[in-house]
Amino acid sequence: MLKEGIKAPAFSLKADDGKTYSLKDFKGKTVILYFYPKDNTSGCTAEACDFRDNIKIFTKKNAVILGISKDSIKSHQNFKEKYSLPFTLLSDENVEILEKYGVWKEKSMYGRKYMGVERSTFVIDENGKIKNIYRNVKVKGHIEELLKSI
């Protein structure tokens, strides 16, 4: 289980722009690494739009926003374009990074159990250490909580 104060697990994932990004690419910046269940669902759309609407504040605080889900690059491209999202969406179709960060969990809906992404956010400092962990994120009020922590 990951905890605050330790080095964040490294990753290298393809993004919506076709490039591959690694955590080390953002050394010197605060990384807001948020994991979300699925493109174009109501909660995930609200969360992405909250990040979009506050991007200037994050940028002023030397922070970069990266969203990760299991969705494909094509799905990310459509989601990003539809909502004019000004940040990078990374695809983890093999769930390797989702598992490394402990956000790939058994979930239950209407009595049916399945594996899915636990909505979570990791604030990673300029040196690659985990500063804050937010698990089971509720979208409403989350941006305000993040802005106070960076």
46/44 Cα distance (integer angstroms): 5
* Strand, coil or helix: 40: coil
Q: Where are the alpha helices (DSSP H) in the chain?
A: 42-53, 55-60, 73-83, 96-100, 142-149
Which of 8, 33, 44, 130 is flagged as catalytic? 44
Q: Is 49 a catalytic residue?
A: no
Beta bridge partners, 91, equal 14, 69
* Cβ neighbours around 46 below 10 Å, total: 12
Report, as residue numbers or ranges, the catalytic residues.
44
